Amino acid sequence: MKRILIACEESDEVRGRFEKLGFDAWSCDLQENRNPNAKHYKGDIFDIINDGWDAMIAFPPCTHLAVSGAAWFDQKRKDGRQQQGIDFFMAMINAPIKHIAVENPVGIMSKIYRKPDQVIQPYYFGDEAQKTTCLWLKNLPAIYHNSKPNLFDSVVTHVGKGDFIIHKSGKRKPKWFADSFNLPKEERAKIRSKTFPGIAEAMANQWGEYLLSK
């Protein structure tokens, strides 16, 4: 049985899908998994990263790396928080695991490390939402999506980008993101970091099939 680690995930959005496909799938996060029945290690990822995984999908924290927080970069560089974020990201991509995917929003790692192998959106995979998502891949193929039907696949996965909110400042934000401001801080972070179902499904189905063929 193939063993896969879903790093920095507590939503069970990705892990649970791999388990349904027959993988020995585990998640790891400092928080409890929302699914009480999930195979989940609550603690430091480095406690288990060397435990013989066949593959890892990692969602390292983006708080100190994403361009959306550029206004605070100077302070974060001075106090070391940004370097901690960089070091953690690089530890994920350089983990002793053959097949790796690391996810993050648009941020400084495109320059510090390299450009991502793929940039995707939830609306590519059937969820009416915009959230620019970068994937850095090691020994994994890009996940595909269909923009229009063809002779071999009649399913159109592309949908609308969803609703947007215009702030007084003039900034345009996706409604799902803006609505999260109404939630407590901890819940807000969970909503923003959660993988959209269509992307999670594509990761499990496509990367799962690829891994099982190896």
- In which residue are the tokens 């585990």 written? 26
> Which top CATH class is 3-212?
alpha beta
Confidence (pLDDT) at 180: 67
User: Domain spans of the chain?
Assistant: 3-212
Whole-angstrom distance, CA of residue 144 vs CA of residue 117: 12
Give pLDDT tens digits along the chain (214 positions): 999 999 999 999 999 999 999 999 999 999 999 999 999 999 999 999 999 999 999 999 888 888 777 777 888 888 889 999 999 999 999 999 999 999 999 999 999 999 999 999 999 998 988 899 999 999 999 999 875 544 444 455 677 788 777 766 767 777 766 676 677 777 767 676 789 999 999 999 999 999 999 8
Q: Which are the contacts of 161, defined by CB distance < 8 A and separation ≥ 6?
A: 121, 123, 128, 129, 130, 174
Maximum C-alpha span of the chain: 56
